[in-house]
Amino acid sequence: MFYNPDNRPSSLPHDPFKAIVSPRPIGWISTIDKEGRANLAPYSFFNAIGDKPPMVIFSKTGPKLGVNEEKDSIRNIRETGEFVVNFVSFELTSEMNISSQHFKHGEDEFSLAGLEKGRSQIVGVPYVKKAPAAFECVLHKELKLPGDDQTAIIGEVKGIHINEEYIRDGIFDVTLYKPLARLGYRDYAVIENLISLKRPDD
Ligand SMILES: Cc1cc2nc3c(=O)[nH]c(=O)nc-3n(C[C@H](O)[C@H](O)[C@H](O)COP(=O)(O)O)c2cc1C
């Protein structure tokens, strides 16, 4: 099968694009507005794109549902130039999902999801205290993408929090917290089993 994304065959009634690009890590983005009110929302068009210095990207792919309003994460980052990427353990699945709802600007998803805030060291934005890890980021660049309402945020990671209960023998052991990853449709994956591979030229 081959198709042009503007002309998906009727045998695929639901867009498989995100199922193809899967699993995707979830960047659980915290921000504050210029009044200092906190916001938290998951973005699975998210990844790391460099490590010297560490860089991350996430993108917004449409407006808030039902209202012609900019998503709070983007609006706040434009206002402050800062954000935090929190990582989602299996244990935090429900809180992450609650925080994806389209609340009014200024409503604090930390409180709505019953999450404690941690105090960041470099940026003014709180992090999710229970998260296995969190990156304090400053805006590097906003990149408008083709389409009506798509934009990508590139950030430079300035500080890294790790919950030490997930460090074993000097390794940040993902099997201890089980990362939640986004697939297509309504599906998620939980990372529990690892395989290790040596590169041929190692
Ligand atoms: C697992 C998950 C991943 C999501 N990924 C994205 C994404 O990559 N881009 C996007 O624009 N919205 C994404 N959403 C929807 C946003 O989380 C949702 O629009 C949210 O209300 C935005 O919040 P904000 O206005 O506080 O930024 C995702 C939702 C979930 C549950």
How far does the centroid of ligand 1 lie from the alpha carbon of residue 100, in Å? 6
Residues in Cβ contact with 189 at an 8 Å cutoff, skipping those fewer than 6 apart: 22, 23, 180, 181, 183
Give 93-114 pLDDT, tens digit per residue: 999 999 999 999 999 999 999 9
How far does the centroid of ligand 1 lie from the alpha carbon of residue 168, in Å? 32
The answer to whether the CB of 72 is under 6 A from ligand 1 is: yes
For the chain, how big is the Rg over CA atoms in Å? 18
Mean pLDDT score, 123-150: 98
* Cα(175)–Cα(171) distance, integer angstroms: 11
Concatenated DSSP letters for 88-156? -BGGGHHHHHHTTS-PPTT--HHHHTT-PEEPPSSSSS-EETTSSEEEEEEEEEEEEETTTTEEEEEEE
Tell whether the model's pLDDT for residue 92 goes beyond 80.
yes
The mean pLDDT value of the chain amounts to 97
CA dihedral 189, 22, 136, 161 (to 10 degrees): 40
Mean pLDDT score, 163-169: 98
How far does the centroid of ligand 1 lie from the alpha carbon of residue 119, in Å? 23
Contact between residue 134 and residue 85 where contact means Cβ atoms under 8 Å apart? yes
Probe residue for ligand 1, chosen from 40, 44, 75, 101 as the CB with the greatest number of ligand atoms within 8 Å: 44
Residues in Cβ contact with 202 at an 8 Å cutoff, skipping those fewer than 6 apart: none
Tell whether the model's pLDDT for residue 66 goes beyond 90.
no
Mean pLDDT score, 177-190: 98
pLDDT of residue 134: 99
pLDDT of residue 48: 98
Strand partners, 61: none
- Tally of helices (H runs) and strands (E runs) in the chain: 5, 14
Probe residue for ligand 1, chosen from 18, 43, 125 as the CB with the greatest number of ligand atoms within 8 Å: 43
Tell whether the model's pLDDT for residue 64 goes beyond 90.
no
pLDDT of residue 126: 98
pLDDT of residue 67: 81
pLDDT of residue 86: 99
- Would you state the structure tokens that stand for residue 50, as one six-digit string? 């460099």
CA angle, corner 136, sides to 132 and 142, nearest 5? 120
Mind listing the domains of the chain with CATH numbers? 24-190 (2.30.110.10)
* Cα(182)–Cα(110) distance, integer angstroms: 21
How far does the centroid of ligand 1 lie from the alpha carbon of residue 101, in Å? 8
Point out the ligand 1 atom lying closest to the alpha carbon of residue 46.
Answer: 8
* Cα(136)–Cα(144) distance, integer angstroms: 23
CA dihedral 197, 132, 103, 83 (to 10 degrees): -90
* Cα(161)–Cα(171) distance, integer angstroms: 14
The answer to whether the CB of 76 is under 6 A from ligand 1 is: no
* pLDDT confidence band for 3 (50 / 70 / 90): very high
How far does the centroid of ligand 1 lie from the alpha carbon of residue 200, in Å? 39
How far does the centroid of ligand 1 lie from the alpha carbon of residue 80, in Å? 20
The answer to whether the CB of 26 is under 6 A from ligand 1 is: yes
The answer to whether the CB of 45 is under 6 A from ligand 1 is: yes
pLDDT of residue 108: 97
3-state SS class at 49:
strand
The residue among 104 and 80 whose pLDDT is bigger is 80
pLDDT of residue 202: 86
